[in-house]
Amino acid sequence: MNSDTVLLIGLGKMGLGIGHRLSKSFKVHGFDPSSDVRAEAKTKGIVPFDSLKQLASSQDGRRVFWLMVPSGAAVDSVLNDPSLNLKAGDIVIEGGNSNFHDSIRRAEALSSRGVHFLDTGTSGGVWGEANGFCLMVG
């Protein structure tokens, strides 16, 4: 198990801030479709990857994925991407403030595959990087 590494998907302002704070205690590997954002992530202590497939393949055994993508269809798109290769024992933390009905649906679908799901609403804005984020685990 690689519990000392977090695989962060979505390195926008909130994702980048969370990744930077996490990098003080964990190894953080990250992916974002923007090459400019990936370059900035590297300056924040995050090891960037050019694709979801490369990110997912960077760890063996149980993996911890932290999604910081916009709520709604973007979350489903990531979770259903075959290159993510979610498998039994993996943990998905979804920090995009999704509607709780969507989170229940996702948790049930992933649970049937042995994947653990945490709906973790995130607050704190860009100030969270310096002052800490409020995480509301549902």
pLDDT digits (tens, 9 = 90+) for 92-132: 999 988 889 999 999 999 999 999 999 988 877 666 666 77
- State pTM to two decimals: 0.91
pLDDT at 2: 52
Cβ neighbours of residue 130 closer than 8 Å, sequence gap 6 or more: none
Q: What is the DSSP string of 29-88?
A: EEE-S-HHHHHHHHHTT-EEESSHHHHHHT--SS-EEEE-S-TTHHHHHHHT-GGG---T
Q: Which of 1-15, 73-87, 105-119, 122-136 is the least confident region? A: 122-136
